[in-house]
Amino acid sequence: MLVKHGVISALTRSTSHSPSSSSSTVLRRQQFLVRTLCASKTHLPKLIRAMSSTSEADAESVLRTVTPSLDPKRHKGQAGKIAVIGGCREYTGAPYFAAISALKIGADLSHVFCTKDAAPVIKSYSPELIVHPVLEESYTISQFSEDEKRKVQDKVIGEVDKWMERFDCLVIGPGLGRDPFLLECVSKIMLLAKKSNVPFVVDGDGLFLVTNSIDLVKSYPLAVLTPNVNEYKRLVQKVLNCEVDEEKAEDQLRSLAKQIGGVTILRKGKSDLISDGEIVKSVSIYGSPRRCGGQGDILSGGVAVFLSWAQQLKSDPESPSESPAILGCMAASGLLRKAASLAFTKHKRSTLTSDIIECLGKSLEDICPAS
């Protein structure tokens, strides 16, 4: 059984020919980009929906629609290859949480591109992750000339570039830190991703970078921003030149997404609000009163996986009208909140992010059984 009965043949067609070859991957991404652009600019029902008020997403139904079945004909990689760009001396937990969550939800391969200091630590958390110790912070090159620094930067970009075409989605920012040299390299990685039409989720310190250089994501329809309360405040101040207005939360989010050229924004909070500048959806089901750090990292890894899966659905004429980015956000938000609720039932005040990650599998299984 594949994703849903109506799309069996279309999905089989779309995945039967060497999906890992880079030319078919590029073609698929180009087709997807054109569809996404057309959908966001001209799709009438979407425009009509944009005029209506925010609606609660049916997150469970989205989860059932986008989650692929475990078809024995599928090969390693077809359920998603995700890469997290993050991890530095201070933060090793955040990239781990994002990358391992992607695997626990159902991606086949999860990579982490981090600094040399962070790599052995992240590897030691899990043998499941493919960890690339390639990023450099200023302190490691402080004695270098400008020319030598440029060479280091080219090497970093080259290391990521040779993998780029293989990824279905990047997560840029969990535990990245704010080192200027490192962030300059990451901005070039974003340009590479855009050139290859690879979708990316921007979170944590990636949002710090983007807020100060909004052109990095502006008008890229495959960009998803997942700000928390602070990150959202900084984005609103920078882009809309005003303060966050809770009375007009939905309209303000829509304006923000529109102003950034139709990127998708998932504003995290008591209810998660999602907009691409046209529609606004909320996800309020489930949830937990524990606010331990790392839950946003689970979410960013989840958005990457569900976005990749929703993108595969696009070849089917019966696929949902919402973009893969919106579907990915709704699915990831619903699943994280269900897993957090389940973990809280078991662990109460001692609930940690690792406990929530352990509940991802059962939460998805309850909604969408594997067999």
Ligand X SMILES: Nc1ncnc2c1ncn2[C@@H]1O[C@H](COP(=O)(O)OP(=O)(O)OP(=O)(O)O)[C@@H](O)[C@H]1O
Q: Is 199 in the site for Mg ion (CB under 5 A)?
A: no
Residue 288 annotated as part of some ligand binding site: yes
Q: Is 93 in the site for Mg ion (CB under 5 A)?
A: no
Distances (CA, A) of 368 to 62, 68, 297, 331, 371: 10, 10, 23, 12, 9
Q: Quick one: which of 295, 308, 311, 363 contacts ligand X (CB under 6 A)?
A: 295
Q: Is 221 in the site for ligand NPW (CB under 6 A)?
A: no
Least Å distance between CB 129 and ligand X? 17
Nearer to ligand NPW, 28 or 267 (CB): 267
Q: Which residues sit opposite 201 in a β-bridge?
A: 171, 224
Select the span of 107-115, 144-152, 249-257, 292-300 touching ligand NPW (CB under 6 A).
292-300
Q: Is 297 in the site for ligand X (CB under 6 A)?
A: yes
Residue 285's CB is within 10 A of a number of other CB atoms, namely 17
Least Å distance between CB 234 and ligand NPW? 8
Nearer to ligand X, 174 or 199 (CB): 174
Residue 293 annotated as part of some ligand binding site: yes
Q: Which residue is nearest to ligand X (CB)?
A: 296
Q: Smallest Cα–Cα separation from 228: which of 324, 294, 302?
A: 294
How would you classify the pairing of strands 272-275 and 280-283?
antiparallel
Nearer to ligand X, 7 or 307 (CB): 307
- Contact characters 315-354, ligand X, x per CB under 6 A: ------------------x--xx-----------------
Size of the site for ligand X (CB under 6 A): 17
Q: Is 228 in the site for ligand NPW (CB under 6 A)?
A: yes
* Distance, CA of 302 to chain centre: 7
Q: Is 297 in the site for ligand NPW (CB under 6 A)?
A: yes
For residues 222-251, which are near Mg ion according to CB under 5 A?
A: none
Residue 243 annotated as part of some ligand binding site: no
Least Å distance between CB 175 and ligand NPW? 4
For residues 39-98, which are near ligand X according to CB under 6 A?
A: none
Least Å distance between CB 19 and ligand X? 31
Residue 60 annotated as part of some ligand binding site: no
Q: Is 296 in the site for Mg ion (CB under 5 A)?
A: yes
Nearer to ligand NPW, 176 or 359 (CB): 176
Nearer to Mg ion, 199 or 296 (CB): 296
Using a 10 angstrom Cβ sphere, with 0-12 exposed, 13-18 middle and 19 or more buried, the burial of residue 69 is: middle
* Distance, CA of 176 to chain centre: 15
Q: Is 174 in the site for ligand NPW (CB under 6 A)?
A: yes
Q: Is 173 in the site for Mg ion (CB under 5 A)?
A: no
Binding site listing for ATP: 268-272, 287-296
Q: Which residues bind ligand NPW (CB under 6 A)?
A: 91, 93-94, 174-176, 204-205, 228-231, 293-294, 296-297
